[in-house]
A and B are shown apart, each in its own frame.
Chain A
Amino acid sequence: MMPRTLFEKVWDAHVVHQFAEGPALLYVDLQLVHEVTSPQAFEGLRQAGRRVRRPDLTVATVDHNVPTGDRASPIADPVAARQLDALAGNAREFGIELFDLRSPQQGIVHVIGPELGLTQPGMVIVCGDSHTATHGAFGALALGIGTSEVEHVLATQCLVWSKPRTMEARVTGRLARGVTAKDLILALIGRIGTAGAAGHVIEYAGDAIRALSMEARMTVCNMSIEAGARAGMIAPDETTFAYLAGRPRAPRGAAWARAVERWRQLRTDSGATYDRRVELDAAAVAPHVTWGTTPGMVAAVTDRVPDPADCASEAERQAVARALEYMGLAPGTPLAGLPIDRVFLGSCTNARIEDLRAAAGAVRGRRVAAGVRAMVVPGSQQVKAQAEREGLDRVFREAGFEWRNAGCSMCLGMNADVLQSGERCASTSNRNFEGRQGRGGRTHLMSPPMAAAAAVAGRLVDVRDWELATL
């Protein structure tokens, strides 16, 4: 047999039918559903008189528009409430399991999938959300889809997809202290650009990736879409199996042993080739911060804001000038020292327990700077409970952070958690697009310890210069 990549193995195992005209019909092992991109899909099923083919392979939660404040009071936004009600009704009508606002397992869809052990190696996983790539950290082929495709998967349990090309991102060497998986992926996006991996599935490989925890691997895969790739994958290994063992929905007993044996085959064969390759030296990566309005507009915290005059092309000059105007930044401004108004610790990229521990390490015994409003939004209610067991909530609260309930929150600002126009925010989320966190808001993406340190300093700092408590 021809040597195959990890991606090709998972792809081949899921082809139900190959259309003569190009795409394949791929079987989907798990569809995750949330309130914002699903109502029109369920309505489409109703209008056509169709059922959900495999409710047992479909799981729903609420995350995008949910309030993160007090859960006891009713939802203030009637339009958001209607969307939540619609999902509850659809889940009942079509027999789909739902983790709603009352559930102790509620959380961001890409946090709870792995947490519950729903996400497993070798699966094809879809969700109407572009950050579904997160689940690729387990060696699953996981991708974001549109609402029409959500409806298609609900009705047929299959996805029509034309085979993408493959890209290997090989990361070698050791990350320096204070440098995280977030910095790695930001550095990679800065290198290849926001469309650098369009049409491709990325496989992250190399000893620096092997050395990452599962949560750090999720951070890397999560932002594959910010490099243009619909999916990113990491071959499963002992770290993966140790994470999954004993999770509520993971196989048990003899089934577990069989599964692990199968999962061990999920690695790229020697001699297999990729359409493209890119290499990155982890040891050379500094903490990264975005300065513009795409995740590719990023630099080391020790760098300065670029000058449009230095751009290679007219198009690039215009794009940089436009971004700097929006961000309220002058060319040549050092990133370190930039004053901030808000701090957001949260999102499917960086709101897992290790992220909160790392951020708390930069905060312990310190205070949020005067005039800065900082909030922690755990990725799930389980992450929140775990953090409270470890006393992290006290570290954050005593420092002056708001400690909130789980949801997407200010990553996309669909609920009440938004920036005011002109406010500058140090954020652990994944997108710094214009208005993403609130109209006129200025987002700088960075790692959890960098954002936490910025909250204390009231300005962007190089966290490598900080004393970090290990929690």
Chain B
Amino acid sequence: MNEPFLRHTGRVAALPRADVDTDQIIPKQFLKRVERSGFGPALFHDWRFRPDGNLNLDFELNRPAAQGASILLTGANFGCGSSREHAVWALREYGFRAIVAPSFADIFFANCCQNGVVPARLLEQEVAELFRRHAAAGGDYRLTVDLEQQRVSDGLGFSTAFALEPYRREMLLRGLDEIGRTLLVADRIEAYERGREAL
């Protein structure tokens, strides 16, 4: 059961690059935990920290204006590569509730929806506009992701719609447990299995 997501307003961290893979989001040396928690401190580990363990102050998430960010603004094909759900657990634990990008990798997108993190797909030029506004504001920039209305807006003139399948939207809005939902049609599964065994 996740916390229901209706709308969220928060500070934006910008990571203006495409093809950010899940190996960067949570490097493999942190995948040995058997819990769903404890991944936040390792988010973007090899980018956030220098080899000597100190913060890499050049990395976007380490900039003062990005502290306390809860919305990640990034490039196309975000979350490509490994299926590791640990990537979403790390983002969520770090504080991100929504990710705004032109596109997401398929498995990562599904993993977000399972964990109450809204993946909002906008047009490439809309994301470019948001990067411009973020930069113009010196990084002091907030967005509202409204899942009920399916809109992303900044209260300063930018407002646009995003698409999300009704099934996923409802899961996120209500914080539903997908297994419980599937078990509502357990009779269908049983019927399918009877047909399958008869094969």
Contacts and interface: CB of A to CB of B under 8 A. Distances in A.
A439 B46 contact: yes
A53 B189 CA distance: 11
A431 B81 contact: yes
Interface string A80-94: 101100100000000
B32 A17 contact: no
Contacts of B84: 36-37, 146
A433 B23 contact: yes
B55 to A, nearest CB: 16
B107 A144 contact: yes
B20 to A, nearest CB: 10
A69 interface: no
A261 B86 CA distance: 42
Contact of B105 (A86, A155, A195): A195
A37 B22 CA distance: 14
B32 A65 contact: yes
Contacts of A294: 19, 21, 80
B185 A198 contact: no
Interface in A130-146: 130, 144-146
A97 interface: no
Nearest to A414: B28
A27 B103 CA distance: 28
Interface stretch (B60-68, B110-118, B150-158): B110-118
A22 interface: yes
Contact of A152 (B21, B33, B182): B182
B17 interface: yes
B31 interface: yes
Given A431-B23, A433-B24, A414 B29 contact: yes
Nearest to A77: B32
Contact of B165 (A22, A130, A315): A22
A36 B17 contact: no
Contacts of A198: 77, 103, 105-106
Contact of A37 (B24, B75, B85): B85
Main secondary structure of the interface of A (DSSP, over half): loop
Interface stretch (A156-164, A233-241, A340-348): A156-164
Size band of the interface chain B makes with A: 35 or more
B34 interface: yes
A462 B12 CA distance: 47
A43 B189 CA distance: 23
A228 B107 CA distance: 10
A435 B24 contact: yes
Nearest to B191: A16
B23 A79 contact: no
B166 A434 contact: no
A306 interface: no
A17 B34 CA distance: 32
A149 B31 contact: no
A80 B178 contact: no
Nearest to B166: A21
Contacts of A22: 165-168
Interface in B6-63: 17-19, 21, 23-24, 27-29, 31-36, 46, 51
A195 B77 contact: yes
Given A146-B114, A413-B28, A158 B51 contact: no
B114 A83 contact: no
Interface in A309-333: 315, 318-319, 322
Which 9 residue pairs are nearest across A and B when measured between Cβ atoms? A39-B34, A148-B114, A21-B167, A146-B85, A21-B166, A146-B111, A195-B77, A144-B83, A79-B32
Given A21-B165, A82-B34, A318-B17, 5 more contacts: A17-B185, A21-B170, A86-B34, A319-B17, A440-B51
Interface of B: 17-19, 21, 23-24, 27-29, 31-36, 46, 51, 75-77, 80-86, 88, 103, 105-107, 110-111, 114-115, 165-168, 170, 178-179, 182-183, 185-186, 188-189, 192-193, 196
28 contacts: A16-B189, A19-B167, A37-B85, A40-B35, A48-B179, A64-B31, A77-B32, A144-B83, A146-B107, A147-B36, A147-B85, A147-B111, A149-B110, A149-B114, A198-B77, A198-B103, A225-B107, A315-B75, A318-B17, A319-B17, A412-B23, A412-B28, A431-B81, A433-B21, A434-B46, A435-B24, A436-B28, A440-B51
